[in-house]
């Protein structure tokens, strides 16, 4: 019951969740808007990504079409940039901006960019934390075993750390994308502004995810301190 109805959830976590919902709405609406604005180059997202990769010597990075909307990502395990239905064959500035962002991650790995290496190292720990943190905290409170709560909080903190490390990774990928789109002439003045708005809206989702994680972490710490004092 404490997970849903305690005052800390209402006053600390709920505002953060509302911010996350707003961020999702913002990225969807901004992407939809600029999906209707087509680039002067008439390059598709896949073509733009291929051009960026080739011009940086990353000929071995493949580009694949995946289903879904905004399910785009770079997979370092298979060295593949995966572009969604709304990006792969789309010639809009939104599609090109998202495709360029994902190639930015490929460039980060190729250059040995430190934050992305740290984020990759945190993934196994974060996966464990996402599965065990809240159950350990719940069982710890129910059984009055504060040691379990403490372990759960530590595991949850790795999730917050992952979100924190994600911010410079995503901001840097977007910065790389916009710079390359400009210098390579793939997008022009007003088109670059539109792509920047799309990527800025996407960046807000990562900021919101960090705020949600920190709010939940602070709540758990406060509940732990209250129970320990009791």
Active site residues: 102
Task: Say how far apart CA 102 and CA 72 lie, in whole Å.
Answer: 7
With contact defined as beta carbons under 8 Å apart, do 15 and 211 qualify?
no
With contact defined as beta carbons under 8 Å apart, do 99 and 48 qualify?
yes
With contact defined as beta carbons under 8 Å apart, do 61 and 118 qualify?
no
The answer to whether the Cα torsion of 208, 214, 217, 222 is positive or negative is negative
| DSSP characters over 5-52 | HSHHIIIIIHHHHHHHHHHHHHHHHHHHHHTTSB-TT---HHHHHHHH
Q: How far is CA 172 from CA 118, 122, 177, 226, in A?
A: 14, 18, 8, 40
With contact defined as beta carbons under 8 Å apart, do 38 and 223 qualify?
no
């Amino acid at each position: 019951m404490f997970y849903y109805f305690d005052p800390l959830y209402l006053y600390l976590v709920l505002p953060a969740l509302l911010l996350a919902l707003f961020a999702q709405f913002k990225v969807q609406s901004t992407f939809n808007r600029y999906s209707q604005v087509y680039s002067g180059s008439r390059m598709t997202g896949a073509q733009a990504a291929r051009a960026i990769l080739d011009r940086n010597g990353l000929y071995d990075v493949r580009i694949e079409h995946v289903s879904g909307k905004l399910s785009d990502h770079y997979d370092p395990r298979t060295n593949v940039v995966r572009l969604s239905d709304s990006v792969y064959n789309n010639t809009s500035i939104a599609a090109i901006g998202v495709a360029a962002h994902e190639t930015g991650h490929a460039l980060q790995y190729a250059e040995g960019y430190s934050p992305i290496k740290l984020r990759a190292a945190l993934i196994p720990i974060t996966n464990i934390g996402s599965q065990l943190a809240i159950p350990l905290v719940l069982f710890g409170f129910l059984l009055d075993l504060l040691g379990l709560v403490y372990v759960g909080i530590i595991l949850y903190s790795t999730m917050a750390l992952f979100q924190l490390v994600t911010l410079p990774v995503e901001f840097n990928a977007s910065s790389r994308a916009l710079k390359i789109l400009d210098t390579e002439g793939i997008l022009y003045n007003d088109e670059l502004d539109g792509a920047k708005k799309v990527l800025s809206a996407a960046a807000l989702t990562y900021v919101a995810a960090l705020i949600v994680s920190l709010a939940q972490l602070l709540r758990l710490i406060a509940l732990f301190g209250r129970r320990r004092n009791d």
